[in-house]
Structure 1
Amino acid sequence: MATSISPAPAQQRPRQPSTTGSGVTFGRVLRSEWIKVTTVPSTVILIASTVVVMVGLAALFAWSLTIMAQSINDPSVPAEFQAPTEGPGSAAFQALTTPSSGLVFGQLLIASLAVVLIASEWATGMIRSTMVAVPKRTPALLAKAVIVAVVAFLVGFASAFLSYLIAQLILQSENLDFALTEDGVFASVINTGTFLALVAVISMSIGILLRNTAGGVVTAVGIFFVLPIIVQLISGLADWIPDAARFLPADAGTQMVAVTTADEALTQWEGGLVMGAWALVLLVVALITAKKRDV
């Protein structure tokens, strides 16, 4: 009985990779990082909490200024306890700082958020997936820094602007309200966002260097809150310490968002340049270190 032999199938050619599309681009990496930040519920909650805290503190500060203004004409308050009617200590002058009055706690929350967003990827191992999708580490980490900085700026600017609007409703009862175009006020609102953006970059750089959430948060808090206190305590030991303290991130940031600055202090521009230098140096060091380490 004859058997038919079917011819062997022709050898299949290997499928050629598609040449369509632009592949991994920095714009696409930015988009993916934006999706990561805006779709995680805990991140969105922390961002919303930052806005609420900053606006709430500004409202409380504005309310305290109205009480201060009322005490000026109150005969039951001793003269030595009454606030001045003019100058930096007056209620009218301090009212100009209400848009950025919640910045102290705002930078704490933004610093924590920036550290968590990057350090948690190393803790969970997600950083490996990121580096597989984007083999070059610098664009991947730089995209994270850009997105976090943009989010921090928007949070800071929106919080300062909302703080201004709400504060006006409270301050007008004592005729302490002021225009957004008042000297230095609008610049302070913008710089509130810029300062938080730089805080985010510094904190994310710390997270990249340490790769540990708890360690990164503690280090960021130490730089922005603990270090200025320590420097203030030891400022009497040497004359150069107070001069050097002006270049700490917290002190430079304070001058950056200030409406007016003292003669011996850094100006708004100088404070911004100091903060920018801190952010740039730490980011460059973090990127170089990340390229030399294993994921």
Structure 2
Amino acid sequence: MSAATLTPQAGRVTGPGVSFPRTLNSEWIKFTTLRSTWVLLATTVLVMVGIGLLGGWGIASGMEQMEAAGQDPAAAGMDSSLLYLMTSGGLDFGQLIIGSLGVLLIASEYSTGMIRSTMTAVPSRLSPLFAKALVVAVVAAVVGIVSSFITYFLLQPILANYGREFGLDVDHLMQSMLLSGVYLAVVAVMGLALGSLLRNSAGGIVTLVVLLLVLPIVAQIIPFDWVQDGVMPYLPSNAGRQMVMLETADGDLTQWQGGLVMAAWAAVLLAGAAVTTKARDV
């Protein structure tokens, strides 16, 4: 046997090669080194906490004024359960910011052409998509949970001025605060999937806003029973709100049902993104 046959072939990869953990690490580095990532995450926390504190202060002060006027706040639909929900009161706005982050995470790569380098480095194509989804979902979940707990602890001194502070032992409160993170994680994945499907940041963000904010408003003003009973509860943001409720009314989706509906939206969009990622050129 000659020495030439023992020489490795030129261009052969002798290392461990591309793996999902390596792809995940690469996506994590890209995610954390973008300034826009930190700006949007900080904005999400500030918005969620700020709205929760303002909402809690407004409800508590309103209840005090009604009691001073000899009125029953409960008769006007204002009771302590509304204060409990303020720990996640900023979700409606926070979801739009964190969802936009999910869109930008992948749509910006298509607009800059960086996606070509990503797909060249990871020819399987689906690994980067799923790695991005995992990264943004975990970060969004942490942001949601942290925001809820910050809101809770900052809200208590405000409510103490009105004698309406409450503890973490309120039934289902901890569950609701933790599920706020799950809610944001699912929205972030939906945003990522839309960004992959449309490959355009503006288009993805607008579509997300329509899906989460505009469609529920439009559906609410349509007076047909099949819309009110068969469509509205299954829109992603409506189902998501049920997921973080402390208690659900009879006939409404339960917390688990709401979570499953919202997860189904994310799964369908992500599956569509996976199919198009494999089928279309970059």
Which of the five TM-score ranges fits, normalised by the shorter chain?
over 0.9
Equivalent in the alignment of 1:286: 273
- Report 1:25-104 matches (<5 A): 25-75=19-69, 82=71, 84-85=73-74, 89-104=77-92
Pick from 114, 118, 129 the counterpart of residue 126 of structure 1.
114
Cα separation, 2, equivalents of 1:219 and 1:239: 26
Structure 1 gaps, min length 5: 1-9
Aligned counterpart, 1:204: 192
Q: Is the 8 A contact 1:100 1:192 kept in 2?
A: yes
Give the drift of 1:73: 2.9
Contact 1:69–1:174, Cα closer than 8 Å, also in 2: no
Give the helix-richer structure, 1 or 2: 2
> Is 1:239–2:234 an aligned residue pair?
no
Tell me if the contact between 1:68 and 1:91 (Cα under 8 Å) persists in the aligned partners: no
Q: Which amino acid aligns with 1:240?
A: W
Q: How many percent of aligned residue pairs carry the same amino acid?
A: 49
Mark the runs of 5 or more structure 2 residues left unpaired by the alignment: none
Query: 1:140 aligns to what?
Result: 128
For the pair 1:213 / 2:201, whether they are aligned, the reply is yes
One-letter amino acid matched to 1:272: G
Which whole-Å CA distance do the structure 2 matches of 1:210 and 1:110 have between them? 18
Give, in whole Å, the separation in 1 of the partners of 2:120 and 2:169: 49
CA contact (8 A) 2:60 2:83 kept: no
Letter in 2 for 1:57: I
Distance in 1, Cα, partners of 2:40 & 2:7: 50
Note if contact 2:53-2:155 (Cα within 8 Å) is conserved in structure 1.
Answer: yes
Structure number with larger C-alpha Rg: 1
Q: 1:19 aligns with which of 2, 14, 21?
A: 14
- 2:127 aligned partner, one-letter code: P
Q: Are the structure 2 counterparts of residues 83 and 231 from structure 1 closer, same or farther at C-alpha, using a change threshold of 3 Å?
A: farther
Q: 1:47 is aligned with what amino acid?
A: L
Q: 1:169 is paired with a residue of what secondary structure?
A: helix
Aligned to 1:171: 159
In structure 2, the residue matched to 1:4 is none
Q: CA deviation at 1:28?
A: 1.0
1:271 to 258, 262, 265: 258
Residues 23-32 or 218-227, more deviating: 23-32
Number of matched residues? Answer: 277
Residue of structure 2 aligned with 1:107, choices 74, 80, 95: 95
The aligned counterpart of 1:227 is 215
Q: Does 1:160 align with 2:148?
A: yes
Tell me how far apart the structure 2 counterparts of residues 184 and 96 of structure 1 sit (CA, whole Å).
Answer: 10
Once the two structures are superposed, residues 18-47 of structure 1 have per-residue CA deviations (whole angstroms, 9 ceiling, x without a partner) of: 534x22111111111111111111111110
SS at match of 1:97: helix
Letter in 1 for 2:44: T
Flag the 1:12–1:169 CA change in 2: closer, same or farther, 3 A.
Answer: same
Distance of 2:258 and 2:138 partners within structure 1: 20
Letter in 1 for 2:107: A
